[in-house]
Amino acid sequence: MIYDSWDILTDPNPKLRKRSEEFDVKKVKTADFQKFADRFADFMLESDGVGLAAPQIGFQKRIIAVQEKDGVGVYVNPEIVKTSPSMQEGEEGCLSVPGKFGIVERHKRIHVRAIDRHGRRVEFKLAGFPAVVWQHETDHLNGILFIDKVKTWTEGGKTKV
C-alpha cells in the first residue's frame, strides 16, 4: 500500500505546515495507488469533509480529494494555473482545525490542472464553492491552513473543507 494511516492530523501538528512533494505520476495507474485513492475518497466522506489533502493524514504528497457532482475526485499534483481578479468571501472550517470557523476571501474563479486518478492530465475551470474547495485543499499542499487567511472568526457553520 502506498500509504495506510487514516487519522486526521490537527493543528498544531508541524506536518500540516510542510510543503508537500510531488507524487510520482508513474505510480498513479498502479493497483496500490488505486486502493489508496479509493480509501482516501471514502475516508474524506466518512470524515464529513468536502475536500481532503494528503498532508491532513500525514502523507506529504501532492494529492487531494474533492467532492464533485457525481462522486469524489482524486487528483495528483494539482495546480491552480490562473485565478480571477474578482474575489468572494465565505465561511470555512477544516477537518484539521476542529471547532474553528471564519470568513476567508478566495478567488471566485480558478483554472486548475492536475493528473486524475486514472493517470490522465486534466484541466478545467471552477467557480463558486468548488473553486473555494480547490483553493483550500491546494493551500494544504503548501503548508497553509485556512486560519492563516481568516478575516473574521465566526461561530461556525456546517461546512468543513
Active-site annotation, residues: 137
107 assigned binding-site residue: no
Residue 136 counted as an annotated binding residue: yes
**Cross-strand pairs, 47:** none
Q: Is 118 marked as a binding-site residue?
A: no
d(CA 24, CA 63): 11
Please give the Cα distance from 18 to 153 (Å, whole number). Answer: 24
Characterize 99-127 residue by residue with b for buried, 16 or more Cβ atoms within 10 angstroms of its Cβ, and e for exposed. Answer: ebbbebebbeebebebbebeeeeeeeebe
Could you tell me which residues are annotated as the binding site? 94, 136, 140
Could you tell me which residues are annotated as the binding site for Fe cation? 94, 136, 140
